[in-house]
Structure 1
Amino acid sequence: MWLYDPDQEVLTALNGSNLELLLDVPNSDIQRIASNQSEADTWVRNNVRNYTKGVRFRYISVGNEVQPSDLDAMFLLQAMQNIERAVSDLGVKVSNGFSGFPPSSGSFTPDSRIFFTPVIDFLVT
């Protein structure tokens, strides 16, 4: 199941459901989470750790369809790295929701490669 926003009522309702969850870090949180590790730790505590006893988190997607021209784009990689450190002991993978439809036909323009290459390198590791 993909949850685009860490809605506390929905997370509580999913308790014991046995569904695997992909949870988004909203684009509006990217800059704050990138600003320092404690912000990422707090986000993960409030939206993931508080629910791990009954919810199966599989992925945390930092941002959704962030474009190189978006204000938050310059903070995406750091936010992903901070979230990765915050969930490193939970076995949850960090991802990103790139745009393009259908995904199999997606390609990067030369300008966007500057933005996407470090993000993809992070995802590979």
Structure 2
Amino acid sequence: MSNPFQVPSAEARGPRPGLAVYPLPGRRGVRAAGEVGLTTRAIWEGVLEQAVREGEGVYHLELSDVTFVDVAGAGALAAAAGRLRDGRRFVVRRPPAALRRTLDLLWPDQEGIEVSAS
């Protein structure tokens, strides 16, 4: 299956962080693997924008294979959640600890994000 959101994890100059995103089977959402940072932010923001445009209800973000999300990536998630309408929300499953702390610290009242440890 082709993945329009994938960034290679290595270039000629050596390894670089990458982010791969795949559809979740059986639910609306994606599974991501890698890092969300400067080199992968456009992918992350594209995924979130697509989620905001899609239907209604819950959009799942399975992040158990994501090792790092920078503050700008957390901010993009909070901003996207703020654009959700009519009780919609992101369910973020097993995010990196730093993402959970950043959301709790900077966006504690963001109702559009539900973080699940399981």
**TM-score class, shorter:** 0.3 to 0.5
Q: What TM-score, normalized to structure 2?
A: 0.42
Q: What TM-score, normalized to structure 1?
A: 0.41
Higher relative contact order (CA 8 A, sep 6+): 1
